[in-house]
Amino acid sequence: MTTLVQDAHWTALAACGAGKLAPDALFVEGAAQREARAVCTACPVRLACLADALDNRMDFGVWGGMTERERRALLRRHPQVPSWRKMFEAAMEKDFLTLAERKSGIILRFNLDAALRGDFKSRQDGLAIQRRNGIINGNEWRERENMNPLSEEDGGEDYWVESGVTVVGAEPGTPGGPPAPQPPKPAPAPAKVKTCEQWM
């Protein structure tokens, strides 16, 4: 499956990136473009590259397996497309998901941000720390992992702060600080004790 991402990090995984080809190998003319396009055939980020080139109106070179002439023709035929990345994602959802899956809220987002931030466990541990300390809410966590948001009733917009945590140097009575000192409780009134005479 071709991977589609939403930022510039896709270049690190490109078949032409990181010194694999001469810098000008994809900026050729005529018959040499066929060879340049062959590099894109098995590239894992081909659609990300093409979406980036189309969204940013790249004028020169082979991007995502298309020459500048092919990209210009595509842009002329579809001037109404505001985001090619989103259009590719929607097309993939239509092709890969059933109608029932789409109605149940399953989405496809090809985003390598998460993969480039570390392995799944490390990423989740880091997000859990941010969540427990009130830095992010549930929906911010889910957005970073390309998941659908939770409703407010389900706590999607709530920020948490662990109880029992004391921040060193925090003022008493402030969030994260030790509890404010309580005024001393008044001494209890002495209990009434009956003397022996009162019992008689």
In the chain, the percentage of residues whose pLDDT exceeds 90 is 12
3-state class of 18 per DSSP? coil
What phi and psi values does residue 66 have, to the nearest 5 degrees? -120, 140
* Kind plus residue range of the DSSP H or E element containing 113: helix 113-116
What's the pLDDT tens digit per position in 122-138? 777 888 888 888 888 88
Burial of 66 (0-12, 13-18, 19+ CB in 10 A): buried
Rounded Cα distance, 23 and 70, in Å: 21
CA angle centred on 111, ends 110 and 113, rounded to 5°: 165
Helices 46-55 and 84-96: crossing angle, nearest 10°? 140
pTM of the model: 0.51
Question: Over its length of 200 residues, how does the chain's per-residue pLDDT go in tens digits?
Answer: 444 434 446 777 788 876 677 768 888 888 888 888 888 888 888 888 898 899 889 989 999 999 999 999 999 999 999 988 888 888 888 888 888 988 888 877 665 454 455 566 777 788 888 888 888 888 888 887 767 888 888 888 888 777 665 555 566 666 656 667 777 777 777 666 555 565 55
The token pair at 1 is 């499956």
Query: Of the candidates 154, 118, 121, which has an alpha carbon nearest to the alpha carbon of residue 138?
Result: 154
